Each structure stands twice: as structure tokens, then as C-alpha cells.
Structure 1
Amino acid sequence: MNTQSVWRGTAPSPGFGMLNGDLGTEVLIIGGGITGLTLAMLLARQGRQVVLIEADEIGSGTTGHSTGNLYETLSGGLHTIRSGWGEQVVRQVVAERRAAIEFIEEQSRAATGVGFRRCPLVLYAMSPSQQGFVDGEIDTLLRAGAQQERRSSIDAPLPPAAGPVLVLPNQAQIQPQAYATHLARQAAAAGASLHEHTRALQIDARAKIVETATGAITAREIVMATHTPKGIRFVHAEMPVHREYAVALPFGAGMSDPGPGIFWALGDEGLSIRTYDADGQRFVICVGREHPPGAHNAKAALMAVEAAAARHFGAVQPAFRWSAQNYHGADGLPYIGRDSTGCFIATGFATDGLTWGTVAARLIAEELSGSSPAFASLCKPSRLSLIKGAKSILEEVAVTAKSLVKDYLTHRQEEKLSSLAPGDSAIIDSDGGSCAAWRSPQGELFAVSAVCTHMGCKVHWNSVETSWDCPCHGSRFRPDGTVIEGPALRPLAVRHPRSLKSG
């Protein structure tokens, strides 16, 4: 199945070449999403020597698979920040995120295809059980002095509201892939050296050396703008991981237009809805609820989003289907700054990454310039609050332990290669241990180790995205074992068919 996002399908990547040979630089940024690109542009404009490497293409990670929504609130609720951190931190969060949106607006003025537009965010509950969340947000935003409006109902074709509706005016939307491309070109124009298709294979944080397949890079500072930091780090134990699925419906005759806005309908469907226009075609984009990676039925999750979109907007064949991964900070705030290895990281953005990524880049740029931003002290990766984040930390540790025990003490499948039909996948017994096998629709067999190279959990098959996903910390691999995303650095080891029990 083609899982290209509507953003990637309607805007190009900038087309930078891969690294060729060894380099030395002042700052090395790993990751070509909104965080890394914004930081590269800011540092290059300061006259700093900057190298950025991206494993795939600019914007091909979470940035190019996001919703394109920008807002000063949080998807997990500002009222959760208020209960854990207090009203003063709520005000700081709103101020930082509002400033980030204004920064994006300023950068977008000279950009092509970004389509920055101001619009309201509309939050409401589809069932009475979710109304408490909305009421909590209304009260928290009121105390924080944020501008807001309230409605008593919602217009079709949007799902109906079960209670009062919260409207936040003056939020925003962009085409995230086009914005990423613009940032990349601005960074390059300012003197940054950008390299696509250049994967970090080994990171020596002490020596500040990163190895790639085509050269080594030595730097004074390393910034991991990789959505979740590479390697084994304590923050991985603090961050629950989720995937969410999205569809883009081409707008046609008979469909009702929800109009401009970010619409969050809380309920079992958990829908986020917006519109987007590209080359004369209008799309309605629907995003469903979150699922733990490697521990859900990807096809069923995608079908649920398609069914919900059909109920509200008609049985229209989606033009694009895709998904994205997110990592939640244990106490509601992201992790931004220098970690215990001496590298800078930026992670734990939940589903609020475009705005948090911009906040992170601006904070790290200030820290690299010798400043100590007040908000950075709240987000430092070394923080640990057993009171604020205990529940999330324990839940994530439990997920890892459960996955390890379940997959090592039980057999999920026992298959023979001879019975593996085209398009099928299975965990196969082999002489060297279990392996993850998939036969392509054309009949080609791919067999790799079933053990994630990050921390040893067993991978699970994702039939929608044709990938092996780890349920512990979200590492994902292609059928040939290549790393797609997540903290894993090394690919899954290839297993040769002659070593398997083919029966």
C-alpha cells in the first residue's frame, strides 16, 4: 500500500546530495525535520559552521507526515500541565508556543507553497465522558489569559458535540513538507552544509564523531534532531510511543465543507479534521486516535479512520493514506537540551511537534550561543520528577517488560518458508534463532533477525506500512532490516534462506 502523505505527495524535497568524505564542523545536526532545519538556519545565520545529515530525504520523517497544524495549546491538554506544574508554567508554555507560531509565520512570508494561514482551533467532546477534558481546557485557558470563545454546538458535516465547544482563535496551519524544504534552502543559503541519504551509523558522543556509510563527521557539538534520540538513553524509559493514521479525501460534489480550522472531536474515534488545497484540488484530512506501535493491528486502525471519514464526509476513496509516530514526555513537557552524554536532544513532543520543534530549535540555538533561556530549564533532559511523571514512566517500563516476556517465552507463529505466501509475514524458526520473514507480492523473500537492535525486544509486522515495528521504544525497520525510524542505529541482521527451516 502506498503510504505517502498528502504533504509529501504535493511538495518536493530540496534534493541535496549525500555526504562524500570526512568532515569537521562546529555543530553537527542529525535529522532533517522541522527541529534540525530550523536550528541549522538559525545557527548558519549567526555565522556558525553547521553540517546537517538526514538519513532519507528532507521532511521524510514525522515533519512530512504530521497534520500541518500549529497551536499554542497542547493535544494532551494544558490542564494536565496546570495540575502537574502550576499556572505559571501553563503561561510559559502558551507564550513559547505562540512565539514559535509567529516565527513560522515570519519565515513563511518569503516561502513558496507553504500556505501559512491563521484559523481557529475548535475542541469539543463527542460523548459526555470526554466533556471533562474540554471543560478543563476552558478553565485553564481562562486562567492563563488566553483568548477563547465558546459555542453551544457544532455544524455538520463535523461530528456533533455533546456539550460546550471551545474555540481558540488565531491558531495556524501550514504545508509542512513545503515549509521543511523552504527551511533547508534558507539554511543552505546562509552557509549550512546539508546532506540527504546520509544515515548516522555510529555515534561516539565522547569523541564527538559520527560515522556514516560515506564518511565520518567530527564536531564540537552534536544535536540529535531525530524525533527520538538515537542509541540507548534514559529518556526512552520515560516516553510512551504511539502511532496515528490519517487519510486525505479529495473534495467532490455533494460533500459538505467544514471550512478552515483545526477541529478536534474527542471520543472513541478521536478525530482531528482539517482541509488543505493544492493545485486546484481540495482535501479533507482526517486523523484517528493513537495506537502503541508493534502492538496493534495497523490495517484495522487505518480502516477505522477511513470508516469514520466516510460517515462524516461520504464514501470517497482516499487519495492519500499515511501514519506518523510520536513520543510523549512523562510529565507533559518535552525534553530539550544537553543530555548526560553531552549531546543536545529534542524529543517528547507528543502530537504537537511542529510547534515544539520550532521552540526546541530556538532554545538550543540560544544555549549554543551561551544564553540560558528560562524555559529551557523546565525542559532539560536530565530532569526526573517521580511525582509528575511516575505514571507514564511506570507504564512505559511495563510495556517494555511485557513485550520482552511475551515474545521470548511464547511463540507467536511457527511457519515454514514453503507455506509463506506472497504478501504474508511470519516469525520463522531458524538454526540461529527466530527471524522475521516476509514474502513480497512478487515472491521475493526477505528474512531478518526478529530482535530489535536497540534493546532486544521482538519486532512485529505492520501490514499497512510493510515494516517490522518494535513495541518497546518505537524503532521501525524495512523488510530488508534497514532502520526507518526510532532509537535503533543498527539494521536488523539479514538471515539467509539456506539457514532457515524451509520444510
Structure 2
Amino acid sequence: MLAGTQESYWIESTAPTAYPRLAGDLDTDVVVIGGGIAGLCTAWELTQAGHRVALLEADRIATGVTGYTTAKLSVLHTLVYDRIRSSFDQVSARQYARSQQAAVDRVAEVAGRLGVDCELERLPAYTWAESEDTLEQVRAEADAAAAAGLPATFVTETGLPFPVAGAIRVDGQAQFHPRKYLLALADDLTRAGGRVFERTRATGLDEGETCTVTTEAGHTVTARHVVIATHYPVFDRALLFTRLEPRRELVVAAAIPAEQDPRGTFITPDHHTRSVRTAPYRAGERLLIVTGEHFTPGSGDAAEHWQRLADWTRERFPDARIVYRWATQDNSTTDRIPFIGRFHPGADNVYVATGFGGWGMSSGVLSGQLLAALIGGDAPEWAGLYDPRRLGLLREAGSMLKLQAGVAGHFVGDRVRSSHVDTIDDIAPGSGAVVRIRGQQCAAYRDAAGEVHARSARCTHLGCIVSFNEAETAWECPCHGSRFDVDGAVLQGPAISPLPPFE
């Protein structure tokens, strides 16, 4: 039995929102699609700049990927600066460092201005090594981060309760409660005239001098500019799905005595990634939040990965009492730099923010700053670094070929691969499987009462075959990361349509 309540602490510790659905057609200056950190920060920044803004969220704001984050605000993104220096250049590494640090500082500035109690704590960030191979990478990263202008130092001591071989330290970073911050932004932007619509899924987009967004209910929003901030873009015309790799990652959160707080944010690429931070919790306690065990959606045993993460947490923090566990999902670009800017080469008025590679807090805030500047006609110096229209064949070719080979393997192989069950009768209560019926693949789930929920097994994005994640009770597409509940409803895109019933 896995320990902890299966829910995000950030969501459990804040009140639910109740913004209205879009109930009719609307005209505005900018429509932002997506109510996570990138969408909310963009909408807020644009409202501050005097634009009329409408934000459309398919579910509730700050409950998707943003609601299940680790919520570190850091410019130290594991081992990024040495890679940027090598695959781009030194100027690009400096631009990345300046833009990400500006995003960290922006949260502190805005939280202070609005008087938001979002549990913001300024702390050092560390990337640590335990193995000799990783130690050399960490040394190189410390040098590259310092060359990029960060106050980075190589150290051998940290606040962690176990020895490390070495670590990079960068001061002036932060951790916070993301929903407390973002719900305050939503309140402020609506007071300033912005509009937020929940349970309003965007399903169509017509581009032009004036753009039109169509919703699932058939209503339209016309706007001069459109921002797609749906985590994974829900419109395919830019073909970004060929350059985005989805990744699922697990989280456990444990209560520890306050005096055992390591006082920092930490990450290591060792042990299949381990990320550590804390948050205020109950009297005399801190909430230790540990992340890791990443895998492609639809291809990992989440229960097994959660158990490994829990075991590691208890081994390294013996007094830890696991109280929550949850999962999150992110996408990495093929060159590991986010896509923030104009959606495709022909786009004049449509923008996108995606591919944050596990660092959505700083990159989401950065998206708001950068997109508001682009729409206002004042691009910062680092706009070109994040431009989605860039394509470095030498940098991206290997990653793109590997990514597309994996997609092709699932697209073809999953159609002929045998299931672990032969018939629906073989599916136990609380389990799901893909079963071939009359030559067609059926995604069948049997609930605790014995009732079978049968849907088409073809993902409504591009037709890959879904697989069942038993630990999270969801159907997942291994090609591009779309997720559906047992009745076919979309949990995460890029799919925008539910899995149809299997007759």
C-alpha cells in the first residue's frame, strides 16, 4: 500500500475557484488559452500594460500541471549552462541566466506589491552530485554558470543530511506556494478589468489580422492576439509535437521536524533524478517535497516508481512521515530551451509558451514577461533564444530522430502488440486494459462495482494507442502525453476531444 494521500498539497491547502464559463461570444484585445502559471502570468502582465484580456481555462485555473508542481523558483536548472554554452554559445548562456533570474525576482516583486502571502522564501539553490561521473558534470556546470554571470560556486557541503561528492550553489533563489500566488494574480487581473473563464475548452483557432477562438460549447472569442499556454499546444499547425517530448514525474511530500529543514532547494541527476525542497507545514514541522522517477506517459509503472521515491526519502530523511503523493507532467524541447514566442513562421498574432523541461515556475513567469513585451512591440534581448521558430539541425537532429522513432514505434507496434488480458472478462475490478474486440482496440476499465467503462483506445490527438496507468486510474498516450479519465474525458492535452465510446 502506497503511503500518503494522493493529492497535491498546493491544491489541498487552498480554496477552489469558481470563475464562470464563457456563456456567449466575446470580443477582446488578447485571448489567453490556458490557466496555468504561464497563462495567468501572461494575462496579468498584459492587463497591467492596459490590454483587454480574456483567459480561457478548460478546467479550473492553477489545477493542471501548475497545481502539481514542486514549485521551485530557480535559475539553476540541473545541468543547463554547460550544455547551452556548448550547443549554442556563451552569449545565449548569459541571456538564459539573466532572463530566468529576472523571472525569479519578478515573483518577489509582484508578491510584495500585491501583499500576497504565498510563503515566498529566498534561499540558495544547489545541484549536487553523488557519483564520480556526475561530479565532473557538476564541476563543468559550476564553471559555465559562473561564466554566464551567476554567483555560482562549487561547494562540498550542503544542508542535506547526507554527504555529497560536490555541488553547485547559487544564492538568491526561491520557493513558494504557487496557487496562493497565482490565485492572487487572478483576483488582481479581474479587478483591473481582465476576465477569467473556467470550464471553457478552446477547440478551434482561425488566424488572421483578427483571430477567432472557438470553444467546445460553440462560442467564439475574437481578438487581435492569441496566446496558447496550454502546457502542450492544443493546436498542431506549428508541428511542435515533433519537437516536444512529454515526461511524467512523481512527487512525495513528508512531514519532518522543522529543525531538520536543509534550508535550500536541491536537485541531482543521480538516482533517476532527485529534487528536494521544503515548505511551511504544521507547528514544529516542515513539508519535505521530493520529486523524481521520471518516465514517458503510458510506459511506466507509477506505483513502483512511487515506492522507490518513498524508500529513498525515508532512507535519506529517517524521520520523514509521508503525507501526500502526486504526479506531474512536463515537456522538453529537442534542444532543451523553452518555446516562448510566435507560434510558427507565418504567425503574426498567435503566440505560444511550452517546453519548460521541468522548470515551469521560472519559465512560466518569464513567459508572461516575454509575451507581454512581444505583443507590446518591445522585444527583450533574449527573445531570439526562446523563439519557437528557431531550428538548429545540428543541435536537434539526434533528439528529434530519437523522439520520432519512439513515436513511430508506439504508433505501429502498439497496434499489433498483444494485451496482458485476452477478454474484458479477464479485467479485475479497479483495473484497465486494451482489449481487441472484432478487430478493434478497446480501452476497457472495470470499476469497483464491476461495471465496465469501454472507450476507443485510439488517442484523439493523432491516433496512437493509449495504455492504462493503474496507480493514477487514467488512460495515457505514450506518443505525445495526452491523458484521459476512465470515461474518456480529457485530463491533459494535446488532445482536445474525449475518447469516444466503444460500442
User: What TM-score bracket applies, with the shorter chain setting the length?
Assistant: over 0.9
Q: Residue 202 of structure 1 contacts residue 489 of structure 1 at CA under 8 Å; is this kept in 2?
A: no
Partner deviation per Cα, 1:382-407 (whole Å, 9 max, x = no partner): 11111111122111111101111210
Matched letter for residue 62 of structure 2: G
How many residue pairs match? The answer is 492
Partner in structure 2 of residue 182 of structure 1: 184
Q: Residue 209 of structure 1 contacts residue 217 of structure 1 at CA under 8 Å; is this kept in 2?
A: yes
2:88 paired residue among 85, 88, 98: 85
Distance in structure 1 (CA, Å) of the matches to 2:88 and 2:365: 22
Question: Does residue 1:321 correspond to 2:320, yes or no?
Answer: no
Q: Residue 438 of structure 1 contacts residue 445 of structure 1 at CA under 8 Å; is this kept in 2?
A: yes
Matched letter for residue 393 of structure 1: M
Matched letter for residue 411 of structure 1: S
Q: Residue 172 of structure 2 aligns to a residue in which SS?
A: strand
Partner deviation per Cα, 1:246-275 (whole Å, 9 max, x = no partner): 0111225xx971432101133124211111
Question: Does residue 1:236 correspond to 2:241, yes or no?
Answer: yes
Q: How does 1:19-58 map to 2 (within 5 A)?
A: 19-58=22-61
Q: 1:155 to 1:346 in 2, by over 3 A?
A: closer
Partner deviation per Cα, 1:166-221 (whole Å, 9 max, x = no partner): 21111111101111111111111111110112122333345522223263222222
Question: Does residue 1:250 correspond to 2:250, yes or no?
Answer: no
Partner in structure 1 of residue 64 of structure 2: 61
Question: Does residue 1:442 correspond to 2:449, yes or no?
Answer: yes
- What's the CA shift for 1:69? 0.5
Matched letter for residue 32 of structure 2: I
- What's the CA shift for 1:86? 1.1
Q: How does 1:39-438 map to 2 (within 5 A)?
A: 39-109=42-112, 110-154=114-158, 157-158=161-162, 160-161=163-164, 163-205=165-207, 208-213=212-217, 215-232=219-236, 233-252=238-257, 257-280=260-283, 281-314=285-318, 316-340=320-344, 342=347, 343-431=350-438, 433-438=440-445
Q: Residue 246 of structure 1 contacts residue 287 of structure 1 at CA under 8 Å; is this kept in 2?
A: yes
Q: Residue 270 of structure 1 contacts residue 288 of structure 1 at CA under 8 Å; is this kept in 2?
A: yes
Q: Residue 469 of structure 1 contacts residue 475 of structure 1 at CA under 8 Å; is this kept in 2?
A: yes
Distance in structure 2 (CA, Å) of the matches to 1:305 and 1:374: 40
Partner deviation per Cα, 1:27-53 (whole Å, 9 max, x = no partner): 111111111111111111222111101
Q: What is the aligned-residue RMSD (CA, Å)?
A: 1.9
- What's the CA shift for 1:152? 2.2
Q: Residue 271 of structure 1 contacts residue 288 of structure 1 at CA under 8 Å; is this kept in 2?
A: yes
Q: Residue 13 of structure 1 contacts residue 181 of structure 1 at CA under 8 Å; is this kept in 2?
A: no
- Counting aligned pairs with the same residue, the percent is 32
Distance in structure 2 (CA, Å) of the matches to 1:156 and 1:384: 40
Q: Residue 20 of structure 1 contacts residue 215 of structure 1 at CA under 8 Å; is this kept in 2?
A: yes
TM-score, normalisation: structure 1: 0.93
Distance in structure 1 (CA, Å) of the matches to 2:19 and 2:287: 29
Gaps in structure 1 of 5+ consecutive residues: none
Gaps in structure 2 of 5+ consecutive residues: none
Matched letter for residue 80 of structure 1: R
1:451 paired residue among 458, 471, 493: 458
Distance in structure 2 (CA, Å) of the matches to 1:83 and 1:9: 42
Distance in structure 2 (CA, Å) of the matches to 1:10 and 1:305: 23
- What's the CA shift for 1:329? 1.7
Q: 1:202 to 1:439 in 2, by over 3 A?
A: farther
Partner in structure 1 of residue 489 of structure 2: 482
Question: Does residue 1:467 correspond to 2:474, yes or no?
Answer: yes
Partner deviation per Cα, 1:387-431 (whole Å, 9 max, x = no partner): 111122111111101111210122224432233221111112223
Distance in structure 1 (CA, Å) of the matches to 2:300 and 2:437: 26
Q: Residue 94 of structure 1 aligns to a residue in which SS?
A: helix
Q: Residue 34 of structure 1 contacts residue 357 of structure 1 at CA under 8 Å; is this kept in 2?
A: yes
Distance in structure 1 (CA, Å) of the matches to 2:302 and 2:259: 29
Q: Residue 264 of structure 1 contacts residue 270 of structure 1 at CA under 8 Å; is this kept in 2?
A: yes
Q: 1:403 to 1:339 in 2, by over 3 A?
A: same
Q: Residue 75 of structure 1 contacts residue 351 of structure 1 at CA under 8 Å; is this kept in 2?
A: no
Q: Residue 421 of structure 2 contacts residue 427 of structure 2 at CA under 8 Å; is this kept in 1?
A: no
Q: Residue 132 of structure 1 aligns to a residue in which SS?
A: helix
Q: Relative to structure 2, which stretch is displaced further, 42-51 or 210-219?
A: 210-219
Q: Residue 208 of structure 1 aligns to a residue in which SS?
A: strand
Q: Residue 261 of structure 2 contacts residue 286 of structure 2 at CA under 8 Å; is this kept in 1?
A: no
Matched letter for residue 430 of structure 2: G
Matched letter for residue 201 of structure 1: T
Q: 1:79 to 1:289 in 2, by over 3 A?
A: farther
- What's the CA shift for 1:83? 0.5
Q: Residue 240 of structure 1 contacts residue 395 of structure 1 at CA under 8 Å; is this kept in 2?
A: no
Partner deviation per Cα, 1:299-319 (whole Å, 9 max, x = no partner): 111111111111112375521
Q: 1:76 to 1:202 in 2, by over 3 A?
A: farther
Q: 1:156 to 1:102 in 2, by over 3 A?
A: closer
Q: Residue 41 of structure 1 contacts residue 190 of structure 1 at CA under 8 Å; is this kept in 2?
A: no
Matched letter for residue 410 of structure 2: S
Q: Residue 256 of structure 1 contacts residue 313 of structure 1 at CA under 8 Å; is this kept in 2?
A: no
Q: Residue 292 of structure 1 contacts residue 471 of structure 1 at CA under 8 Å; is this kept in 2?
A: yes
Q: Residue 19 of structure 1 contacts residue 214 of structure 1 at CA under 8 Å; is this kept in 2?
A: no
Matched letter for residue 18 of structure 2: G
Distance in structure 2 (CA, Å) of the matches to 1:301 and 1:377: 38
Matched letter for residue 200 of structure 2: T
Q: Residue 13 of structure 1 contacts residue 177 of structure 1 at CA under 8 Å; is this kept in 2?
A: no
Distance in structure 1 (CA, Å) of the matches to 2:259 and 2:413: 47
Q: Residue 4 of structure 1 contacts residue 320 of structure 1 at CA under 8 Å; is this kept in 2?
A: yes
Q: 1:483 to 1:203 in 2, by over 3 A?
A: farther
